[in-house]
């Protein structure tokens, strides 16, 4: 997959003094204004002509060469952009726009090694220049310097935690690295249990559960004591509501990996689904002991105590879920029911209002496939009974 590089317009125009201007300066100012207007209108050829005229009049001003280089870049004349930007940097090496666009022009001409230094300089001059980070990471990836690419984009994600371009670039890099590794596995070990495991995960992500089961069973047959395989098979059975069969696999996983809190939790959850509360309780408590931040276990304990009419304890566990994952709707619904049973009408209404608001927003949002949330609280809540609970039967 060819990397996509992102660009944007950060043209830094040089205003000339309006007082005591020489004839040369006035002519250059007129050329600059004409170039600005042309560039704003998308007429990059005319913008180039305007900046060429201004540079000819005032070659000692490096910012004009930067603007000319950027105009060349936008006109897709990358070789001339490189020449103009290098000329500007000879006079003033610390121009962030010149370094950024020089790096991007090198990328556009597939000179990835040459792009590294100017992009690194752009980042050093202005760490908030997100496209310098993005393009630097992309160049490292093209050069197969993937550790450096990951490092750059992870750092960018810390600076810009909510920027979609940064998140897309980092996610795309992870995605390509994953497929590169799995592609190599397919070449060197197509008959291995790990390859069967990957195939099973792929089918599971697409919710093709019967095919996933076949692949996980093949992997287990090849290596019955490999950690994670019995859990993977049990999880697919659990997602389909095959509780007894799922429990057999979770128990087999715990025999291999006693510390696997996910298997412990889902054993408890499967018993809870069948209303075997005495059997569910110790597994859910053990899962929380092993993983104190496991929101799914807190929610299941809240449901269990709602079912057994211990609303005080239900309130404790459900409030913990909301504290850890306030953006998840279902715990607010369960809290509303619990408050109602405890006679706190005002709190019940408030929680129901939050639940309805969140569900509406959730329905309006374009959500990516559940497979993209593997390992998150969202994945933990992906159960066969994750619909809105019935007020009289919150399970």
What is the per-residue pLDDT for 368?
56
d(CA 217, CA 289) in angstroms, rounded, equals 31
What is the per-residue pLDDT for 280?
98
- Residue 158 is encoded by which pair of tokens? 């810390």
What is the per-residue pLDDT for 21?
57
8 A C-beta contact, residue 335 and residue 353: no
- CA-based nearest residue to 370, from 244, 243, 362: 362
What is the per-residue pLDDT for 367?
58
What is the per-residue pLDDT for 340?
96
What is the per-residue pLDDT for 366?
60
What is the value of pTM for the model shown?
A: 0.68
8 A C-beta contact, residue 108 and residue 5: yes
* 393 backbone dihedrals φ, ψ, rounded to 5°: -150, 75
What is the per-residue pLDDT for 380?
42
Exposure letters 201-238 (e unless 16+ CB within 10 A, then b): bebbeeeebeebbebbebbbebeeebebbbbbbbbbbb
d(CA 102, CA 89) in angstroms, rounded, equals 10
User: Per-residue confidence of the chain (395 residues) as pLDDT tens digits?
Assistant: 344 444 444 444 444 444 445 788 888 888 899 999 999 999 999 999 999 999 999 999 999 999 999 999 999 999 999 999 999 999 999 999 999 999 999 999 999 999 999 999 999 999 999 999 999 999 999 999 999 999 999 999 999 999 999 999 999 999 888 888 888 888 888 899 999 999 999 999 899 999 999 999 999 999 999 999 999 999 999 999 999 999 999 999 999 999 999 999 999 999 999 999 999 999 999 999 999 999 999 999 999 999 999 999 999 999 999 999 898 999 999 999 999 999 999 999 999 999 999 998 888 776 555 434 333 333 444 444 433 344 344 33
d(CA 312, CA 306) in angstroms, rounded, equals 9
Domains of the chain (ranges, CATH numbers): 23-175 (1.25.40.10), 189-288 (1.25.40.10), 293-395 (1.25.40.10)
d(CA 266, CA 238) in angstroms, rounded, equals 8
Strand partners, 390: 393
What is the per-residue pLDDT for 185?
87
Residues listed for the chain: 395
d(CA 110, CA 15) in angstroms, rounded, equals 34
**Phi-psi bin for 210: left (phi > 0), alpha (psi -120 to 50), beta?**
alpha
What is the per-residue pLDDT for 67?
94
- Residue 210 is encoded by which pair of tokens? 């019967």
Q: Quick one: which H or E segment has residue 349?
A: helix 345-364
């Amino acid at each position: 997959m060819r990397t996509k590089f992102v660009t944007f317009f950060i043209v830094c125009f040089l205003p000339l003094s309006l007082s005591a201007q020489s004839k040369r300066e006035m002519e250059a100012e007129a050329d600059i204004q004409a170039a600005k207007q042309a560039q704003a209108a998308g007429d990059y050829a005319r913008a180039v002509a305007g900046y060429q005229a201004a540079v000819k009049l005032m070659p000692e001003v490096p910012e004009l060469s930067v603007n000319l280089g950027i105009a060349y870049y936008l006109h897709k004349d990358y070789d001339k952009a490189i020449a103009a930007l290098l000329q500007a940097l000879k006079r003033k090496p610390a121009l962030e726009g010149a370094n950024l666009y020089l790096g991007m022009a090198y990328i556009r001409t597939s000179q990835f090694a040459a792009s590294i230094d100017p992009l690194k300089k752009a980042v050093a001059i202005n760490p908030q220049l997100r496209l310098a980070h993005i393009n630097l990471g992309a160049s490292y990836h093209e050069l197969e310097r993937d550790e450096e690419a990951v490092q750059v984009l992870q750092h960018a994600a810390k600076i810009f935690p909510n920027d979609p371009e940064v998140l897309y670039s980092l996610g795309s890099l992870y995605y390509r690295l994953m497929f590169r590794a799995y592609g190599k596995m397919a070449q060197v070990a197509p008959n291995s249990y790990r390859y069967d495991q990957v195939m099973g995960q792929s089918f599971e992500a697409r919710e093709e559960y019967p095919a996933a089961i076949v692949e996980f069973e093949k992997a287990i047959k090849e290596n019955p004591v490999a950690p994670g395989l019995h859990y993977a098979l049990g999880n697919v059975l659990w997602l389909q509501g095959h509780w007894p069969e799922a429990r057999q696999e979770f128990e087999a996983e715990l025999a291999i990996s006693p510390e696997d809190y996910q298997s412990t939790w889902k054993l408890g959850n499967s018993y809870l689904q069948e209303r075997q509360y005495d059997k569910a309780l110790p597994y859910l408590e053990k899962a929380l002991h092993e993983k104190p931040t496991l929101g799914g276990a807190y929610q299941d304990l809240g449901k269990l105590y709602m079912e057994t009419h211990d609303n005080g304890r239900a309130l404790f566990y459900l409030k913990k879920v909301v504290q850890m994952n306030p953006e998840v709707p279902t715990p607010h619904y369960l809290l509303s029911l619990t408050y109602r049973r405890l006679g706190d009408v005002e709190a019940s209404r408030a929680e129901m209002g939050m639940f309805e608001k969140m569900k509406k927003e959730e329905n309006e949002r374009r959500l990516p496939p559940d497979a993209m949330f593997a390992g998150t609280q969202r994945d933990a809540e992906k159960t066969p009974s994750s619909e809105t609970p019935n007020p009289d039967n919150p399970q």
